[in-house]
Amino acid sequence: MSDPVLAIRLRALGDVVLATPALRALKRGHPGAALDVVTDARYAPLLEPLHEVDRVWPLPRSTAGALALIGSLRRRRYAVAVDFFGNPRSALLARTAGARLTAGFDLRGRRYAYDVRVPRDAPGDGGRREHASAALLRLARAVGGVPDGEPPRLTLGADARAAADTLLARVGIADPSRTLGLVAAGTWPTKTWPVSHAATLARRLMAAGHAVLLVAGPGDEAVSAAMTALARGLVVLPACDVSTLAAVIERLRAVVGTDSGPRHIAAALGVPTFAWFGPTHPDTWQPAGPRHGYWQTPLPCRGCDRTACPHWSCLPGLDPGEAATLVTRHLEVVVGSAAAVGAAAGA
């Protein structure tokens, strides 16, 4: 049996999901070798059910815990360690794990950690921006990974699905297949649609007969409070772990909202999505296929990737009434439901 392979992919939620094709490529390219993954503890339940992953090592927050993890990794005697994240902490893990070969992105201050380096950015097909998952696949190929040509995918366990059913019943969602998940917040302030816009969209969708479930995460409490005050009848998903979140999303009719981790979960589970883009670019983050629609600001500075902006106007300029129309049309095409008709009607 071959010596094991180590992959390191820390935060964030959407990026962890987008790493799954690269993980599969590593497994295909190293037949007979176990594939271990180091990730933040909160994301471990999302990776543990994957068929291609043999072991998940949650990264402790404490220095003592991290040092203990490094000791455990060194005893595994990895043939290859691949850093798919590329921050100082993940680079240090890759360097100290004791692998015979290390690989990562050629980034200033981190390149010292890798024997094999690839550029972080490269042109995509037709001169467009490269998709985030394609960049990770380039890195996997550099150490023998063999892509399968398939998009990001997730596998859910029975426990996660049971927990999701319990959670949905607790908040009164009797038929999640007729419920839309709405993501109002974003990882960055510039990715978050104005709350007034998101609330207007929620009201219009509910007026059209949809149940709407606000999908929120840690740190989104202020947005959730404002949304429930502005959109009566909106249901908020209670706090849960990521595997339960994924199982909830799997049951929904569609997920709409900001460019976000829950949207990437939905796409990886075959659930239709629709998103709006301002500072991020659809070339980089849009899931492939007609089931996933998007709306992008027409401003020339779009896709700037700024986490702060002194003249932020890209997302505020996307009108919620037009968003309702676009969501409705998208659902009519990909879901074919008569209940989708009329979502553009006034609140």
* β-pair partners for 276: 258, 295
Residues 174 and 279 in one domain: yes
Pairwise CA distance, residues 83 & 92, whole Å: 10
Amino acid at 51: H
Residues 245 and 291 in one domain: yes
Pairwise CA distance, residues 244 & 190, whole Å: 27
154 domain-assigned: no
Given this model, what pLDDT does residue 19 score? Answer: 98
Given this model, what pLDDT does residue 123 score? Answer: 85
Given this model, what pLDDT does residue 163 score? Answer: 97
User: In the listed set 85, 106, 141, which residue is the last one of a domain according to the structure?
Assistant: 141
152 domain-assigned: no
148 domain-assigned: no
Exposure class string for 198-227: b at 16+ Cβ within 10 A, else e: bbbbbbbbbbbebbbbbbbbeebeebbeeb
Residues 290 and 183 in one domain: yes
Residues 188 and 335 in one domain: yes
149 domain-assigned: no
Residue written as token pair 């220095």: 63
Residues 50 and 120 in one domain: yes
Within its chain, how far is the Cα of 47 from the centroid? 13
Given this model, what pLDDT does residue 219 score? Answer: 83
In which element (H, E) is residue 89 found?
A: helix 88-96
Q: Which residues contact 229 (CB under 8 A, 6 or more apart)?
A: none
Residues 88 and 188 in one domain: no
Residues 334 and 196 in one domain: yes
How many domains, in total, are found in the chain? 2
Pairwise CA distance, residues 206 & 192, whole Å: 21
Q: Which residues contact 76 (CB under 8 A, 6 or more apart)?
A: 4, 6, 36, 97, 98
Strands 55-59 and 116-118: unpaired
In the sheet that 254-258 helps form, which strands lie side by side, from edge to edge?
235-236, 211-214, 179-183, 254-258, 273-277, 292-296
Question: Per 3-state DSSP, what percentage of the chain is helix, strand, and coil (rounded to 5)?
Answer: 40, 15, 45
Nearest to 263 by CA among 215, 317, 223: 215
DSSP 67: H
Pairwise CA distance, residues 134 & 119, whole Å: 12
User: In the listed set 81, 108, 141, which residue is the last one of a domain according to the structure?
Assistant: 141
- Domain boundaries, position 211: 159-340
DSSP 126: G
Do 35 and 23 form a contact (C-beta atoms < 8 A)?
A: yes
pLDDT tens sequence for the chain (347 residues): 689 999 999 988 999 999 999 999 999 999 999 999 999 999 999 999 999 999 999 999 999 999 999 999 999 999 999 999 999 999 999 999 999 999 999 999 999 999 999 999 888 778 889 999 999 999 999 999 999 999 999 999 999 999 999 999 999 999 999 999 999 988 888 998 999 999 999 999 999 888 999 998 888 889 999 999 999 999 999 999 999 999 999 999 999 999 999 999 999 999 999 999 999 999 999 999 999 999 999 999 999 999 999 999 999 999 999 999 999 899 989 887 434 434 443 43
143-199 residue pLDDT tens: 999 999 999 999 999 999 999 999 999 999 999 999 999 999 888 889 989 999 999
Q: Give 12: exposed, middle or buried? Use CB within 10 Å, 0-12, 13-18, 19+.
A: middle
153 domain-assigned: no
Residues 195 and 326 in one domain: yes
Residues 119 and 163 in one domain: no
Pairwise CA distance, residues 139 & 117, whole Å: 8
For the record, the structure tokens of 277 come out as 């883009």
347 domain-assigned: no
150 domain-assigned: no
346 domain-assigned: no
* β-pair partners for 183: 257
Residues 122 and 220 in one domain: no
Residues 102 and 189 in one domain: no
Residue written as token pair 């490094």: 70
51-60 residue pLDDT tens: 999 999 999 9
* β-pair partners for 104: 117
Report the CATH number at residue 263: 3.40.50.2000
Pairwise CA distance, residues 58 & 48, whole Å: 10
Do 309 and 279 form a contact (C-beta atoms < 8 A)?
A: yes
Residues 166 and 287 in one domain: yes
User: In the listed set 113, 141, 169, which residue is the last one of a domain according to the structure?
Assistant: 141
Given this model, what pLDDT does residue 1 score? Answer: 61
